[in-house]
Chains A and B, each alone.
Chain A
Amino acid sequence: MKKVLVVGGGPAGLSAAEALAGLGFEVYLVEKEDKLGGLPVKESRYKLFPYEKSPEELLNPLAERVKEKVRVFTGAEVEAVLTDRPPFDVRLTNGETLRVDALVLATGVKSFDPTRKGELGFKLVNGVVTNAQLEAMLARNELKEPGSVAFVFCVGSRDLQLGPSYAHCCSYGCAHAGMLALELKRRFPSARVYCFYTDVRTCSTLERRYYLLPQREGVRYVRGRVARIYEQNGKPVLKFEDTLLGRPSELAVDLAVLVLGLEPSEGTKKLARLLSLKQDESGFIAEEREGVFVAGSCKGLLTLQEALTDGKATALRAALYLKGEKT
């Protein structure tokens, strides 16, 4: 029986593994963390769009199904790929060496480190938090009623001041912020909730639920990118231009939420190196080669739904390859 190793147990890796096992291949999966589920589980999120379910609700059943049919190594990474062509001899950090006929890379992304954008005051200004922190607060029911909240879009995305590798869009931030803004508005009807944007990218059906609805229910969208956040009287003050009015402005809020961008994970960069795969300007994996398939966000940013679908699609490509070779 043909063997496949899936690297990364996030949404894309899990769905690829499940599909390949279902198609009758012998599948291994290696995941660096102790828990399967990828970024959504690691960052202990509250709710995932468009499902509006918690990460556990959404991804645990998938992980359980995978564990039944797939040999899973958690807490381990790929250490070396010993052969250049298939079959691949892969050594893992837990001492295991596997011989497989194909590799599916699904090593995903990591969140941008907001301390790099000093002007936005993370860790410097009271009341500046990340979107993941806000989710954790919501999940644990820790958030006290705020007078006002501002979502700051594109922190670590679309920003060449961070270097030439930061031109890309995170693709989840606008919808994610729209979902949380709406949630806040519903929980705390008298709170003033703002979204500061350059463009709102809630593509396809996300537009209605995560842009139109929040607007209708009182979330105020301001067209201007936040240039600076500093502290005044213990509160964050946002500096921005309301570009539709053409007016430079300041706004004091209780909570400023940084909507963090995503970038290739260390694992993604490492595997690209190990397998000498081309990376694009942002460091995402930009090519496949014989026996090596790339799934999910490690080749460019996808939403969760897209990552799940892409995992399946990649599995199918791998399966066709594996069948075409021998049968």
Chain B
Amino acid sequence: MALPKGMRKPPRKGKIGKKVAYFKGCALEGPARDYDASARLVAKALGLELDQLEDFNCCGSLHVKNLSFKASLLLGARNFSVARAQGHGALVAPCNGCSFALKRAERLLSDEGKLSELNRLLEEAGERPVDELPQAHHLLEWLYNEAGPEEVKKNAVRPLKGLKVACYYGCLYGMPRVFSGAYPHASKEEELAVPYGRETADDDEHPYYMDALLEAAGAETVELGPYATSCCGSYFSLVEPELARSMALKVLKEAHARGARLLAVACPACKLSLETALARHEDLKLSVVYFTQLLALAFGHPPGSLGLTEEAWAG
């Protein structure tokens, strides 16, 4: 469930920066083009800047690390190198898999001696070593902190009145906290003791950034309870489709039972998994959309231009 309004923390402006390196990831270059387009529109409308990395490599997702720890860190280090070369101290990724992999790499590279070890590999590969580790964030964390509900409200020329949306965050958005830095309730003193505490991280157990933004855009959010962060099974969409489907179905059923029409997500892999399950369960009258599509819609962009099909939008 999303943290109730009275317990939420206001955005921490300036902690990440208005201009950041945009780590698009493989999916947004390809099938999740609509996510990319809407993310850009939203950032622009909110006076923020996504500076796309001119060159990047796959984050390694959850797969490369299973074969080799070192290789997974090398992929991360090269991405950080590219971001630094473009002069950035912060990277923003729109996908849970990417943000997980980048945060993980950031955290593990900050261990004693790790960065110099990986820098040697980068040099061997003819790449620029990383002078300073940039911080990795999820797109949603960035939008909430650098713009926040206030700005969204100001820009919502066509509020999403009467739209019932369930916000689905997925597992890797905030988990595990050792990588996401989500220690939202630690005191200042304790934050120091928790070495990777990140002020801009969402709540560790009851994330609310997406709810807050969509509420500000005029939508009515629907509570998903524990399913807001339970895994959609996308890791196994292909490998163990039955398992993945039963996991996705739990989320879909809950959203449906709570009366949602739309399920907003912040990750292309979640969308794929949820839609694959939906394709077999058309009785669940739900459409899965990116939260940025809904924001862009509220900002006045026509649904067609956002890649929102008629069935997703009307009905």
Contact = CB atoms under 8 A, between A and B. Distances in A.
Direct contact of A and B (CB under 8 A): yes
Interface of A: 113, 115-116, 118-119, 123-124, 161-165, 228, 230-232, 239
Nearest to B183: A163
**Which of A118, A164, A231 has the most C-beta atoms of chain B within 10 angstroms of its own C-beta?**
A118
B185 interface: yes
A116 B186 contact: yes
Given A163-B193, A230-B1, 15 more contacts: A113-B185, A115-B185, A116-B185, A118-B3, A118-B203, A118-B205, A124-B3, A124-B206, A162-B190, A163-B186, A163-B190, A163-B194, A164-B193, A230-B226, A232-B225
Contacts of B177: 161
B7 interface: yes
Given A116-B185, A116-B186, A123 B193 contact: no
Contact of B1 (A123, A124, A162, A164): A124
Nearest to A282: B193
Nearest to A239: B226
A163 B177 CA distance: 11
A161 B194 CA distance: 9
Interface residues of B, number: 18
Interface in B201-225: 203-206, 225
B126 interface: no
Interface string B186-206: 100010011000000001111
A162 B190 CA distance: 9
B92 to A, nearest CB: 25
Contacts of A115: 7, 185
Contacts of A228: 205, 226
Interface of B: 1, 3-4, 7, 177, 183-186, 190, 193-194, 203-206, 225-226
A124 B5 CA distance: 11
Contacts, number: 40
Contacts of B205: 118-119, 228
B9 to A, nearest CB: 12
A163 B192 CA distance: 9
A124 B4 contact: yes
Nearest to B182: A118
A228 B229 CA distance: 12
A29 B226 CA distance: 50
Given A230-B1, A230-B225, A123 B7 contact: yes
A230 B205 CA distance: 11
Contact of A118 (B185, B190, B193, B194): B185
A243 to B, nearest CB: 21
B85 to A, nearest CB: 35
A118 B4 contact: no
Nearest to A118: B205
A165 B194 CA distance: 9
Contacts of B193: 163-165
A239 B230 CA distance: 13
A118 B226 CA distance: 12
A128 to B, nearest CB: 13
21 contacts: A113-B185, A115-B185, A116-B185, A116-B186, A118-B3, A118-B185, A118-B205, A119-B205, A123-B7, A124-B3, A124-B4, A124-B206, A161-B177, A162-B186, A162-B190, A163-B183, A164-B194, A228-B226, A230-B225, A231-B1, A232-B225
Contacts of A239: 226
Given A113-B185, A163-B190, A165-B190, A118 B204 contact: yes
Contacts of B206: 118, 124
Contacts of A123: 7
A115 B9 CA distance: 14
Nearest to B225: A230
Nearest to B207: A118
A116 B1 CA distance: 16
Contact of B225 (A118, A119, A163, A231): A231
The 10 closest A-B pairs by CB, nearest first: A118-B205, A116-B185, A163-B194, A119-B205, A163-B193, A230-B226, A118-B206, A165-B193, A163-B190, A230-B225
A140 to B, nearest CB: 27
A44 B233 CA distance: 48
A161 B1 CA distance: 20
Contacts of B4: 124
A23 B277 CA distance: 78
Contacts of A230: 1, 225-226
B4 to A, nearest CB: 7
B303 to A, nearest CB: 35
Contacts of A164: 193-194
Contacts of A231: 1, 225
A217 to B, nearest CB: 34
Contacts of B194: 163-164
A228 B1 CA distance: 12
Contacts of B184: 118
A228 B4 CA distance: 18
Contacts of B226: 228, 230, 239
A250 to B, nearest CB: 10
A124 to B, nearest CB: 7
A273 B24 CA distance: 48
Nearest to B203: A118
